[in-house]
Amino acid sequence: MSAKKPQQETPAQDRAVRPLTVTVACAVAALEGAVLAALALFMMVGGITGYADDLRAAEAGGLAVLALAAMPLIAARGLFLVRSWSRGPVLVLQIITLPVAWTMVQNGGGMVAAGVALAVVGLVGAVALIHPMTTEALGRAPRPE
């Protein structure tokens, strides 16, 4: 006799149980990861083309930022699949974006617009992650006493 295999969830089933707030948080994390990856590539290409003064520093810095970009991208996939472990890393990232955005705004010039944009993205991501629908979907709902 053959044992019945458990039915695997399809992407359509995942979408049915993923509330909008989780989707927003997933998009924010993916956007932040993509921007970090683009920055890493910019740093590495700058080192190769001679734009940066020190090739080794540019390459090492680019690799470090690329490694940092992996965290929000992996966590975004976890949010997309509605995995409870993914909420923590993305929430920490959103909290980190706020002082970075403040520093960018304090620098003035063109950094003001970038800092404001980063602050808005960070706040949207944080609100989406602490929303009750997200908490319930990720299995972190408060227990009744």
Q: Smallest Cα–Cα separation from 118: which of 84, 93, 135?
A: 93
Higher pLDDT, 142 or 62: 62
Q: What is the DSSP string of 63-131?
A: HHHHHHHHHHHHHHHHHHTT-GGGHHHHHHHHHHHHHHHHHHHHH-TTHHHHHHHHHHHHHHHHHHHHS
Question: In the chain, pLDDT over 70 holds for what percent of residues?
Answer: 85
> What b/e string do you get for 47-66 counting C-beta neighbours within 10 Å, with b at 16 or more?
beeeebeeeeebbebbeebb
Q: What is the pLDDT of residue 95?
A: 95
Flag whether 145 is in a domain. Answer: no
- 116, pLDDT greater than 70: yes
Flag whether 7 is in a domain. Answer: no
Q: What is the pLDDT of residue 12?
A: 46
Q: What is the pLDDT of residue 93?
A: 93
Residues with Cβ within 8 Å of 63's Cβ and at least 6 positions away in sequence, in order, are 40, 44
- The mean pLDDT value for 13-26 works out to 80
Flag whether 27 is in a domain. Answer: yes
Average pLDDT over the chain reads: 87
Flag whether 9 is in a domain. Answer: no
Q: How many CB atoms lie within 10 A of CB 14?
A: 12
Residue 135, classed as helix, strand or coil, is: helix
- Counted residue by residue, the chain has a size of 145
Flag whether 2 is in a domain. Answer: no
Number of domains in the chain: 1
- The mean pLDDT value for 82-93 works out to 93
| pTM of the complete model | 0.80
Q: Residue 55 sits in which domain range?
A: 18-137
Flag whether 11 is in a domain. Answer: no
Q: What is the pLDDT of residue 143?
A: 58
Higher pLDDT, 49 or 117: 117
Flag whether 3 is in a domain. Answer: no
pLDDT digits (tens, 9 = 90+) for 35-68: 999 999 998 888 888 777 788 888 899 999 999 9
Flag whether 4 is in a domain. Answer: no
